[in-house]
């Protein structure tokens, strides 16, 4: 008994460090980083802080936004701590938004801050704010129950599952930033009154942003690269419009050898017709499938050439090339040279399972 | 009894993460790691199976008893002490990296030494128990952690973010010659059988490790998994950037519907259990080996209450761990770990040679004498 | 004889000591009417001696009837009287007549270990009745019963029961060694004996198991355990025990197999929750809020907003309240008990949270702890679990989540380290292993 008492009192003497109650912490739910234009303090760091309350109902989420300009992210965050009354916590910060301008001005040198902080989750989402990150932070979505939850649900695929939304995790961005033959992709968030528009992606090379895809292209990209189901294929057929809802997509990439490599992409799509002129399907089921496939292949090929011309490789053709031929550094150099001349061939196999619940 | 042997194989197969083995392998992923892993599968299988088969000649005897029976005390005692020391260093290293990892990710603001004190105390208490207790505890703990292992494995393999191309690229570099460091690190996946050196005391006289074919299978599974999954998640280049490689890899997985969202925390829970288990086993083995340095010592697998000498020895080990914690930092620790891995590898070879030659020698002698003598140390 | 007895007992008022004379001969006769069954005394002694008296027959009865025992030693007389025997002195020989009054004539209903569809009869506070109940259920020739008396003052009778084919001899030996060391003045309950036998001062978990169910005791005997019946207690003490015995209810064996397994699984989950939940709350609220998913963390944050002190104070307040409530509802008479629960429940549930003294999440934690503690079928084990949770709480206060994990590890090792009468407390055994163990142990 005496021994236990001694041990306990020792613990009491030594402890007390590290304990901080949850209500003494301020949770950052979204962090935004912008280009301030000032060369001395190039980074404008803004954090959206959660103000929690016992009552949870739609629209009850309250947040506070704090902003600072700093020469580096780490310094800025440290300085920000003096602006608030509680300990800043990044443990639950799941969304990081980089300003569009920031990416155009080259990659932030202190970007490794994200990967280095032990409390930042490697599964946090990265996105681009258009026109800047701060304006995205300022949006207060009406449906939000928990602070920051709207974006968590958007990217986490727990709530909406849209073919226009690409999810990029921090570890994925780091991987793509360093990897040979695979380049970063970031979704673009545009604020619109009380909600967000997330329907474009931004393609980067290793240094800066190169290309922003339109919503249409974004969907194509998601279908071919991320197997995004719940997407659609559409085609005009004379005056009518044919829309196929896709519930299964698989794509297979094959990179050929040769001086001008040929990249073959085989896409398999299954779905049912959601909108079509009456009796179209019964007339020529296979013909329609072929037609849809051909149309889709054309669209994707167009997209691939556009991406190639921008000099980026979000699909990882280069990596796949290396993997196929167990290549090393030299093969990679050869690939980089050849990439601007690469030819693409897309073969799409469409299978229509029916026309929904009507004939 | 057989299953107790495999529990050791299982947790040693997984503990490598705390001993920088993945880090060492990843550093040389383009220069011979793959070949090293392939070679280590052969070497590890050979070492373990030869040792296990030789141990059949020495029923109910641990390494100290075998050595004392065949060598004079001045040869045997230092050897036993050396074996004990190698266990002890393993324990110290794991305790240190456990403190570092948990300190960094779970309690960043806490005093490091206070934290270490907790870990050292846990290892001390657990290690000083009797051999049988340690066996039982191993069983319960392995069974408790298996679901977590299965969950993490499942989450990793079924993850869509896992880039198989990156894995293929690295796997393509199998032609380069591996360094000795890589082989030493990679054979650690197979080291679980070394527990037999002590726990053979508990086995019944007619004990035979069955299902030996699972050993290479398990070792291969662990090594491929530990090596390739991080590459799949972080690509061929960025993997190098991380120190706590597997912690970071586990952090790259999400449980969409979990009460705990980050697989990372499951991983931390799992590895604190595994590390404590490893510390318990190594402390215990080291303690038993040091006690057995004296030729007169009679091993007693079941001792209640715990004798004082256990506490004293374990307290010394704890002190060593603590002092090491004060001296070491991440970088020094990594270097010491590398040295230890190589030493352990060579010790394993020596052990195998000694045990195998003694077994052959014992086999030549008339059979009648050996069982009678073999029965004595267990009583 | 009478004078001697009166001298030793100090002539208590409730002693009947007379010399009876039926006209032919005399007989000295004494007994405590309060301790004897009067009807037996009347049928066995008074009737044959008085109006049906026949000297030859009476003598033959004294010699042949098993109820009459020769008691030549004056030293024994007082002890016999105090146990409820009647003493007679006839023709210069002293006989004792066992007419002990029995409180119980039939088995009672189960109270502590209720069962839905299993046997409903429980043991009584009478040793012979209990022995009968167990013999009835475990009716084999190998069942051995040893008699013993313990307690300097109470002289409580004990029966040690075991199946001599199945019992583990080491455990039996250890038990006998321990029984020799047991010295107490009053031995009144089986639990007391269990505590004296198991090294209770240094053990955080019970070393013996008590049961009021004869079917359970029979099952224990069949598994090679030893049971001790204590006179005056409706519980049997059984040993050696294993961890799993405490989590086992008899209903598990009477219900469909898979249902039983599922219920057992729930029981283990309940035990874990009841031990660790308050500690986890502290760990999450004060050290590692990032452990749980973000929405849950914000809920905890929001509900704690009004609470002015750190989480562990909150936990201690609530745990004290719930322990007090449980204690009160056990000790209070049944009529008042429900009032206590209502008042306590209302205060704990609503007012404390509205006043901002505790968070609403903490109230849920508290009730989960209390309820899941009740699913543990054995009450002495559930006491242990109740105490264990404070160990976790202390660890969580100092070390957060890591403290909880390390404590869990230590407790598992500690449980594996425990031995109950030489048998491992927590270890998984397969039957083949047990045999090989025995072989190697022999």
Across chain B, what does the average pLDDT equal?
A: 87
Compute the distance between CA of residue A355 and CA of residue C174 in angstroms, rounded to an integer.
80
- Single out the residue in A149, A180, A212 at which a domain terminates: A212
For the whole model, what pTM was predicted? 0.89
Burial label for C421, CB within 10 Å (0-12, 13-18, 19+), is buried
Say what the pLDDT of residue B281 is. Answer: 93
C410 touches chain A (CB under 8 A): no
C307 touches chain A (CB under 8 A): yes
Tokens 């799949």 locate to: B232
Say what the pLDDT of residue B103 is. Answer: 84
Q: Does any domain span residue A5?
A: no
A198-216 mean pLDDT: 88
A125 forms bridges with which residues in the sheet?
A95, A169
Q: Does any domain span residue A110?
A: yes
Residues in B touching C440 (Cβ below 8 Å): 60, 204-205, 378
List, run by run, the mean pLDDT of 10-residue segments along chain C (442 residues).
Answer: 80 82 83 83 83 82 82 81 83 83 78 84 87 90 89 86 88 88 86 79 82 91 90 88 88 87 92 93 89 86 85 89 84 76 73 83 89 89 91 90 93 90 78 44 38
Say what the pLDDT of residue C441 is. Answer: 41
Decide if the complex's ipTM is over 0.90. yes
Tokens 């069954």 locate to: C37
Compute the distance between CA of residue B56 and CA of residue B49 in angstroms, rounded to an integer.
11
Say what the pLDDT of residue A4 is. Answer: 64
* Chain A to chain C Cβ contacts (< 8 Å): 75
Helix pair angle (B263-291, B63-70), 10° resolution: 30
A94 touches chain C (CB under 8 A): yes
Say what the pLDDT of residue A10 is. Answer: 62
Q: What are phi and psi of A36, to 5 degrees?
A: -85, -20
Q: Which of B107, B235, B251 sits opposite A179 (nearest CB)?
A: B235
Q: Cβ separation of B259 and C412 shorter than 8 Å?
A: no
Q: Does any domain span residue A13?
A: no
Find the farthest-apart pair of alpha carbons in chain B and give their distance in angstroms, rounded.
65
DSSP 8-state class, residue A143: T
pLDDT tens, position by position, A304-322: 999 999 989 999 898 998 8
DSSP H stretches of helix in chain A: 2-14, 73-80, 100-104, 112-116, 133-137, 149-156, 170-178, 215-226, 280-283, 285-310, 317-324, 329-339
pLDDT tens, position by position, C71-122: 888 888 888 888 788 888 888 888 888 887 777 678 888 888 888 888 888 8
Tokens found for residue C249: 């209810």
Compute the distance between CA of residue C144 and CA of residue C327 in angstroms, rounded to an integer.
39
Domain ranges of chain C: 2-98, 108-241, 256-424
pLDDT(B98) > 80: yes
Q: How distant is the Cα of A125 from the closest Cα of chain B, in angstroms?
A: 11
Report yes or no: C300 and C289 within 8 Å, Cβ to Cβ. yes
Residues in B touching A178 (Cβ below 8 Å): 235, 237-238, 241
B146 touches chain C (CB under 8 A): no
Band (A11; pLDDT cuts 50, 70, 90): low
> Who contacts C402 (Cβ-Cβ below 8 Å, separation ≥6)?
B102, B106, B107, B115, B118, B272
- Specify the CATH number for the domain of residue B186: 1.20.1740.10
Alpha carbon distances (Å) from B301 to A108, B67, B81: 61, 18, 19
pLDDT(A8) > 70: no
Tokens 């009287």 locate to: C81
Band (B339; pLDDT cuts 50, 70, 90): very high
Compute the distance between CA of residue B268 and CA of residue B98 in angstroms, rounded to an integer.
10
Compute the distance between CA of residue C400 and CA of residue C90 in angstroms, rounded to an integer.
80
Q: Cβ separation of A23 and C307 shorter than 8 Å?
A: yes
Q: How distant is the Cα of A58 from the closest Cα of chain C, in angstroms?
A: 14
Residues in C touching B1 (Cβ below 8 Å): 433, 436
Compute the distance between CA of residue C195 and CA of residue C205 in angstroms, rounded to an integer.
11
Q: Cβ separation of B141 and C409 shorter than 8 Å?
A: yes
Say what the pLDDT of residue B296 is. Answer: 79
Q: What residue numbers bound the domain in which A260 lies?
A: 214-359
pLDDT tens, position by position, C54-69: 888 888 888 888 778 8
Compute the distance between CA of residue C411 and CA of residue C23 in angstroms, rounded to an integer.
77
pLDDT tens, position by position, A33-52: 888 888 888 888 999 998 88
Compute the distance between CA of residue B313 and CA of residue B311 in angstroms, rounded to an integer.
6
Report yes or no: C62 and C25 within 8 Å, Cβ to Cβ. no
| Same domain assignment for residues A170 and A255 | no
| Same domain assignment for residues A96 and A196 | yes
| Same domain assignment for residues A161 and A238 | no
| Same domain assignment for residues A34 and A181 | yes
Q: Which long-range contacts (CB under 8 A, 24 or more apart) does B256-263 make?
A: B256/A156, B256/A157, B256/A158, B258/C293, B259/C292, B259/C293, B259/C296, B260/C291, B260/C292, B260/C293, B261/C292, B261/C293, B261/C294, B262/A121, B262/A123, B262/C290, B263/B151, B263/B152, B263/B155
Q: Does any domain span residue A136?
A: yes
| Same domain assignment for residues A38 and A105 | yes
Compute the distance between CA of residue C384 and CA of residue C247 in angstroms, rounded to an integer.
13
- Residue C119 Ramachandran class (φ > 0 left, ψ -120 to 50 alpha, else beta): beta
- Single out the residue in A212, A247, A262 at which a domain terminates: A212
Report yes or no: A359 and A273 within 8 Å, Cβ to Cβ. no
Q: Cβ separation of C413 and B143 shorter than 8 Å?
A: no
What domain count does chain A have?
Answer: 2
pLDDT(B366) > 60: no
Interface with A, mutate which of C280, C288, C289, C291 (most A CBs under 10 A): C289
C377 forms bridges with which residues in the sheet?
none
Residues in B touching C402 (Cβ below 8 Å): 102, 106-107, 115, 118, 272
Residues in C touching A27 (Cβ below 8 Å): 289, 297-298, 301
Say what the pLDDT of residue B336 is. Answer: 92
| Same domain assignment for residues A264 and A128 | no
What domain count does chain B have?
Answer: 1
Q: What residue numbers bound the domain in which B25 lies?
A: 2-378
Q: Cβ separation of B115 and C433 shorter than 8 Å?
A: no
Band (A108; pLDDT cuts 50, 70, 90): low
- Single out the residue in A190, A212, A234 at which a domain terminates: A212
pLDDT tens, position by position, B249-288: 998 998 888 788 889 999 999 999 999 999 999 999 999 9
How far separated are the first and last CA of chain B, in Å rounded? 18
State the Cα torsion B153-B159-B163-B164 to the nearest 10°: 60
| Same domain assignment for residues A42 and A151 | yes
């Amino acid at each position: 008994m005496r021994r236990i008492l001694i041990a306990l009192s020792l613990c009491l003497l030594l402890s007390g460090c590290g304990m901080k109650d949850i209500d003494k912490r301020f949770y950052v739910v979204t962090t935004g980083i912008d280009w301030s234009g000032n060369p001395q303090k190039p980074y404008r760091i803004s954090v959206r802080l959660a103000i929690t309350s016992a009552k949870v109902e739609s629209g009850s989420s309250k947040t506070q936004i704090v902003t600072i300009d700093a020469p580096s992210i780490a310094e800025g965050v440290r300085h920000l701590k003096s602006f608030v009354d509680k300990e800043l916590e990044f443990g639950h910060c799941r969304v990081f938004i980089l300003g569009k301008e920031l990416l155009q001005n080259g990659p932030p040198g202190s970007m490794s801050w994200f990967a280095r902080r032990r409390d930042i989750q490697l599964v946090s989402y990265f996105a681009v704010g258009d026109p800047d990150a701060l304006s995205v932070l300022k949006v207060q979505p009406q449906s939000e129950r928990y602070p920051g939850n709207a974006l968590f649900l958007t990217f986490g695929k727990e709530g909406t599952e849209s073919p226009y939304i690409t999810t990029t995790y921090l570890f994925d961005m780091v991987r793509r930033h360093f990897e040979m033959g695979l380049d970063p992709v970031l979704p673009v968030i545009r604020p619109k009154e009380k909600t967000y528009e997330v329907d474009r992606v931004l393609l980067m090379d290793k240094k800066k942003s190169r290309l922003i895809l339109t919503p249409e292209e974004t969907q194509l990209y998601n279908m071919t690269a991320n197997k995004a189901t719940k997407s659609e294929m559409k085609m005009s057929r004379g005056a009518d419009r044919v829309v196929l809802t896709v519930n299964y997509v698989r794509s297979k990439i094959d990179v050929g050898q040769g001086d001008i490599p040929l990249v073959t992409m085989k896409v398999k799509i299954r779905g049912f017709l959601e909108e079509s002129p009456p009796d179209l399907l019964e007339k020529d089921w296979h013909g329609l499938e072929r037609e849809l496939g051909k149309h889709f292949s054309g669209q994707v090929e167009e997209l691939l050439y556009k991406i190639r011309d921008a000099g980026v490789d979000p699909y990882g053709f280069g990596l796949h090339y290396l993997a196929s031929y167990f290549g090393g550094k030299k093969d990679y150099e050869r690939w980089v040279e050849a990439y601007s001349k690469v030819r693409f061939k897309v073969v799409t196999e469409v299978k229509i399972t029916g026309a929904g619940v009507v004939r | 009894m057989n299953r107790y042997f495999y529990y050791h194989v299982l947790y040693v197969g997984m503990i490598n993460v705390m001993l920088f083995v993945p880090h060492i392998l990843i550093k040389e992923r383009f220069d011979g790691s793959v070949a090293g892993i392939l070679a280590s599968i052969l070497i590890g299988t050979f070492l373990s199976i030869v040792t296990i088969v030789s141990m059949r000649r020495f029923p109910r005897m641990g390494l100290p008893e075998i050595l004392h029976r065949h060598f004079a005390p001045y040869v045997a005692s230092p050897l036993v002490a050396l074996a004990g020391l190698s266990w002890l260093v393993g324990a110290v290293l794991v305790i240190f990296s456990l403190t570092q990892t948990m300190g960094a990710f779970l309690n960043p603001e806490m005093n490091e030494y206070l934290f270490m004190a907790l870990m050292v105390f846990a290892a001390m208490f657990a290690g000083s128990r009797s051999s049988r207790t340690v066996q039982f505890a191993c069983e319960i703990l392995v069974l408790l952690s298996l679901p977590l292992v299965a969950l993490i494995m499942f989450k990793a393999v079924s993850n869509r973010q896992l880039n198989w191309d990156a894995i293929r690229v690295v796997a393509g570099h199998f032609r380069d010659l591996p360094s000795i460091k890589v082989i030493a690190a990679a054979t650690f996946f197979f080291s679980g059988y070394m527990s037999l050196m002590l726990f053979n005391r508990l086995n019944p006289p007619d004990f035979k490790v069955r299902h030996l074919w699972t050993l290479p299978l398990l070792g291969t599974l662990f090594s491929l998994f530990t090596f390739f999954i991080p590459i799949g998640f972080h690509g061929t280049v960025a993997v190098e950037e991380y120190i706590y490689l597997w912690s970071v890899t586990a952090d790259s997985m999400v449980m969409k519907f979990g009460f705990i969202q980050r697989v990372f925390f499951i991983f931390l829970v799992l590895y604190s259990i595994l590390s404590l288990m490893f510390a318990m086993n190594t402390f215990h083995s080291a303690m038993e080996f040091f006690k057995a340095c004296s030729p007169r010592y009679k091993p007693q697998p079941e001792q209640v209450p715990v004798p004082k000498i256990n506490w004293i020895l374990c307290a010394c080990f704890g002190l060593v761990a603590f002092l090491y914690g004060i001296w070491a930092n991440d970088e020094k620790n990594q270097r010491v770990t590398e040295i230890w891995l190589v030493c352990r590898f060579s010790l394993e070879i020596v052990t195998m040679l000694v045990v195998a030659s003694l077994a052959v020698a014992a086999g030549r002698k008339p059979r009648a004498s050996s069982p009678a003598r073999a029965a004595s140390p267990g009583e | 004889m009478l004078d001697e007895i009166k001298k030793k007992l100090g002539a208590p008022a409730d002693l009947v000591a007379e010399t009876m004379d039926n006209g032919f001969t005399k007989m000295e006769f004494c007994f405590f009417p309060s301790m004897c069954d009067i009807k037996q005394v009347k049928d066995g002694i008074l009737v044959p001696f008085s109006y049906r008296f026949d000297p030859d027959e009476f003598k033959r009865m004294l010699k042949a009837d098993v109820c009459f025992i020769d008691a030549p030693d004056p030293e024994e007389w007082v002890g016999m009287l105090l146990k409820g025997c009647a003493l007679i002195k006839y023709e210069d020989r002293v006989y004792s007549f066992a007419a002990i009054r029995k409180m119980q004539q039939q088995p009672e209903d189960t109270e502590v270990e209720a069962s839905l569809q299993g046997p409903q009869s429980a043991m009584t506070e009478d040793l012979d009745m209990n022995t009968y109940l167990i013999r009835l259920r475990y009716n084999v020739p190998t069942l051995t019963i040893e008699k013993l008396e313990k307690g300097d003052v109470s002289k409580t009778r004990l029966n040690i029961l075991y199946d001599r084919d199945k019992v583990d001899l080491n455990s039996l030996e250890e038990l006998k060694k321990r029984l020799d060391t047991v010295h107490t003045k009053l031995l009144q309950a089986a639990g007391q004996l269990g505590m004296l036998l198991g090294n209770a001062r240094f053990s955080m978990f019970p070393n013996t198991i008590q049961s009021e169910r004869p079917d359970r005791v029979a099952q224990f005997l069949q598994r090679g355990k030893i049971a001790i019946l204590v006179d005056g207690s409706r519980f049997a003490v059984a040993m050696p025990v294993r961890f799993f015995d405490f989590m086992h209810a008899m209903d598990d064996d009477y219900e469909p197999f898979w249902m039983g397994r599922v219920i057992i699984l729930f029981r283990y989950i309940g035990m874990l929750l009841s031990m660790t939940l308050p500690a986890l709350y502290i760990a999450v609220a004060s050290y590692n809020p990032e452990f749980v998913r973000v929405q849950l963390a914000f809920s905890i944050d929001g509900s704690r907003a009004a609470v002015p002190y750190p989480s562990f104070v909150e936990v201690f307040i609530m745990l004290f309240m719930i322990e007090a409530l449980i204690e009160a509802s056990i000790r209070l008479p049944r009529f008042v008990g429900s009032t206590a629960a209502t008042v306590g429940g209302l205060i704990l549930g609503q007012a404390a949270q509205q006043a901002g003294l505790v968070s609403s999440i903490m109230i849920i934690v508290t009730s989960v702890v209390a309820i899941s503690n009740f699913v543990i079928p054995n009450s002495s084990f559930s006491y242990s679990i109740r105490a264990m949770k404070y160990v976790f709480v202390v660890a969580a206060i100092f070390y957060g989540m890591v403290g909880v994990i390390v404590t869990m590890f230590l407790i598992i090792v500690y449980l594996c380290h425990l031995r109950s009468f030489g048998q491992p407390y927590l270890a998984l055994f397969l039957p083949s292993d047990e045999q090989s163990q025995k072989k190697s142990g022999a």
